[in-house]
Amino acid sequence: MTDYSAPAWLPGGHLQTIWSALWSRRFETNAPHWRRERWTTPDDDFVDVDFCEATPPHSKRPLLVLFHGLEGSSGSHYSQAFAEWGLQNACDVAVPHFRGCSGTLNLAPRAYHSGDHEEIDHLLRKFKRVVEAQSRPGLLAAGVSLGGNALMRWAGEHGQLAQKVVNAVASICSPLDLTASGHAIGQGFNRQVYTRMFLRSMKPKAMAKLKQFPGLFDANKLMATQDLYEFDDVFTAPLHGFKNTDDYWLRASALPHMGNIALPALALNAQNDPFIPSSSLPLSEKVSAHVTLWQPDNGGHVGFASGSWPGHLKAMPEAVGQWLLQHIH
């Protein structure tokens, strides 16, 4: 992906982001079929996990766990594109949904956040047990946007121990410096389009959580929020043990921990990602020798459409997926 070049008909980071998500082809023929399992969490909540597998199931295939982005799911464009890639490349794909993102309100007085390496840890360890029980050849993990930051935060947190769980990890268009990205998405066109889109789904979910747990937060303050900084200050930060948004964004960012990563890791970020200032992207001298950085000029935020109009989304899953597969021993 370092040499990715956007089609001439798809110029600029915003268009590459929006068009790819809405109109580019995610799969060749039929939409991937997902099989859902509900897993109990250590706090007696649940996580819904969707699997896209070969038919019939084949234990010789590795498993790729894909952590979705903010308000994403197995129905997101990138999830479907990765599922299609997996079917064509003998690799099953699983998408665990962060709390509240599977279409069903979760049970605990919490949701999900960008630095939730504890959630990543217990999920990956359960996937590891599944892989071992099925005698699969390996376990891979990738995360998109928010999910990629949480995954890299986990890899940095666990250092050498992470190698015992997964063969390799990848982050895709992830805000590894949450402070820089959080402020960027709250300005200009980003604020008017992307911020509004996220808050349209995040506010109703938060209010449903308040109905479950009266007094959990101030409803008037939450409904008055106009950007992610304000929303995180009222909801995400206090519900997940952070003092405020600044504390959350600082402590949840993966970037300061990427020097501790001790397993093969790939960080893919487009230089023209509207959500992520290029000045905030990781530098090779600031990450461990185990981290590979791909930073093409184009791609937008989880875009990377290729081919003739309306474009297809095969290129990014193919590049990232093949990079991960080479680390199956």
> How many residues are present in the chain?
329
- 301 is a catalytic site residue: yes
- 144 closest CA partner among 289, 316, 284, 325: 316
- 117 closest CA partner among 160, 176, 158, 173: 158
Alpha helices, DSSP H, located in the chain: 13-22, 77-88, 117-133, 146-158, 178-184, 188-190, 196-212, 219-224, 228-231, 237-239, 245-252, 315-325
Q: How far apart are the first and last CA of the chain?
A: 23
Structure tokens at 182: 């959080």
Cβ neighbours of residue 204 closer than 8 Å, sequence gap 6 or more: none
The active-site residue out of 68, 117, 240, 301 is 301
- 77 closest CA partner among 104, 99, 98, 95: 95
Cβ neighbours of residue 107 closer than 8 Å, sequence gap 6 or more: 44, 45, 46, 212
The active-site residue out of 76, 79, 145, 306 is 145
The active-site residue out of 116, 232, 233, 273 is 273
- 33 is a catalytic site residue: no
Structure tokens at 215: 């007094």
- 227 is a catalytic site residue: no
Contact 266, 237 (CB under 8 A): no
Cβ neighbours around 327 below 10 Å, total: 17
Catalytic positions are 145, 273, 301
